[in-house]
Amino acid sequence: MMSAKLWAPALTACALATSIALVGCSKDPKDAQQAAAAQKMPPTEVGVIVAQPQSVEQSVELSGRMTAFEISEVRPQTSGVILKRLFTEGSYVREGQALYELDSRTNRATFDNARAALLQQEANLSSLKTKLNRYQQLVSSNAISKQDYDDLVGQVNVATAQVAAARAQVKNAEVDLGYSTIRSPISGQTNRSSVTAGALVTANQTDPLVTVQRLDPIYVDINQSSAELLRLRQQLSQGSLGSSNNTKVKLKLEDGSYYPVEGRLAFSDASVNPETGTVTLRAVFQNPNHLLLPGMYATAQIVQGVVPNAILIPQAAITRTPTGQAVAMIVNAKGVVETRPVETSGVQGKDWIVTKGLQTGEKVIVDGIAKVKEGATVVAKPYQPQAAAPQGAGQPAAEANKAGKPADQAQPKTEQKATSNA
C-alpha cells in the first residue's frame, strides 16, 4: 500500500512535465510562422529617375538696380528771368520741346546791336571796294602812286575781316536769343521743376532747372563679386564649363514676379570696385510701359556658361553628410540600395546640377529615400512628381473622416451649427 502512495505523486509530476513540454512545442510553430511572414514582406517601393547626361546652362542670380538709359540735367545757357514754365511736371517731353521761356528783351537788344554793327562794317567794306576799283584804273596810268594803291588794298582786307567778325557777333547774339527758350535735349520723363516763373537764372548754373530721364529702354546695373568672376574664368579655362553665347537676362522684380521681357547683356566693367570687391555688369531691357523705374531693386538671372555632360537630379534626392559631402542613393541591377557620393555645380530651378558620381542609366532614388538604407532590397518605380494641393482642399473630407461621416454629410452639419450660433 505504501508503494502505491509513493508512486502516485511521481506519476502526477511526470504528467505535469509532459503537459508543459507539449504546450511549449505547440507555441514554436506559431513563432516560426511569424518569422517567415516577416521575411516574406514585400520590399519597399521607391520612386526613381534614370540618370541622363545633357548640356545644362549654368545661370547665376545677381542683385542690381535700375538706372535711366539717358539722363539730362537741364541748365540755362543764358541769363534771364523765367517768364513761363511750358511743361507739366512728371510728363513725357520730346527732344527739342520748349520747357521754359526767359525774358528775351536784353538778348534781343544785343542781337539788334550786332546786326547794326554788321551793316556798318558791310557799308564801309562796300565803299572801300568801290574806291579800290577806281584806283586800279588810275594806277595803270600812273595817275596815283603805287603806295596809295597798296594802302587801299590793305584797308579793304581789314574791312573784310571786320565784316566777318561782325557776322560772328550776330550769330552769337542769335544763339543767345535762341537760348531764351530752354528746350529739352532728349526725349524722356521729367521730374519736379526746381524753379518757378519769376526766378532769376544764370548761364551754366550749378543747380539744374529740371531733369529729363529716358526710361525706354532702361539699364539694370548688376554687381558680381570678383571671386565668382575669377572662379568662372578658371572653369572656362579648364574646360569644365563651356562658354555660352546666350546674352539674355531674366529679371525678377521686388514682389517676386518676373518681368515679361528678357533683356540683353550690354557690357561688363573692366575693373573691380576696390570698396565693394565687385564688377558691374549692365543689361538693357525694353520698358514701353515704364514699369521699371530708376532706383528699383531687382534680381537678374544670367547664363554664364554651359556644363557639358551634367545630370539634373531633384533636390529631394541629394542629402548631405555632416562633412558637407553630397550623397545620392541609387538602385543597382539587383534591386539593392547603394549610396554614391556626387559633386554638384549649382542648381537649375528645383534640380541639382550633378557633374560627377553618377553613370548614365543609373536609377536614382527620389521618392521614399527616408524609408530605405544602404543594402536594403527595394522595388524601383518611375518617380511621379506630385502637384501641390491648393490651400483649403480636403478640409471638409478630413473633418468628415474624423466624424466618421462622408464629406457631403458633414458639410451641412457645419452650416447648421454656424447658423444656430449666428
Angle between the N-to-C axes of helices 105-140 and 146-178, in degrees from 0 to 180, rounded to the nearest 10:
160
In a domain, 145, yes or no: yes
* DSSP notation for 329-366: EEE-TTSBEEEEEEEEEEEETTEEEEEES--TT-EEEE
Which of these three, 132, 148, 179, is where a domain ends? Answer: 179
Which of these three, 123, 147, 179, is where a domain ends? Answer: 179
CATH of the domain at 332: 2.40.420.20
In the prediction, which pLDDT does 276 show?
A: 82
Q: Which residues contact 183 (CB under 8 A, 6 or more apart)?
A: 96, 97, 98, 99
State the Cα–Cα distance between residues 105 and 198, nearest whole angstrom: 15
In a domain, 24, yes or no: no
In a domain, 297, yes or no: no
Which of these three, 179, 200, 218, is where a domain ends? Answer: 179
In a domain, 299, yes or no: no
In a domain, 323, yes or no: yes
C-alpha cell at 408: 457631403
In a domain, 378, yes or no: yes
In the prediction, which pLDDT does 407 show?
A: 43
The single-letter code of the amino acid at 54 is: Q
In the prediction, which pLDDT does 324 show?
A: 87
Number of structural domains in the chain: 2
Query: 361 lies in which domain range?
Result: 47-55+309-382
Cα torsion through 189, 193, 196, 199, rounded to 10:
-120
Per-residue pLDDT of the chain (422 residues; tens, 9 = 90+): 444 444 344 434 444 444 444 444 444 555 556 555 545 667 888 889 998 888 887 777 888 899 999 999 999 999 999 999 999 999 999 999 999 999 989 899 999 999 999 999 999 999 988 888 888 878 777 777 888 888 888 999 999 999 999 999 999 999 989 999 999 999 999 999 999 999 999 988 999 999 999 999 999 998 888 777 777 666 656 555 555 555 788 899 988 899 999 888 887 777 887 888 888 888 899 999 889 999 999 998 877 677 888 889 898 889 898 888 999 999 998 889 999 899 888 787 788 888 888 888 889 999 888 888 888 888 888 988 775 544 444 444 444 444 444 444 444 443 334 333 33
In the prediction, which pLDDT does 238 show?
A: 59
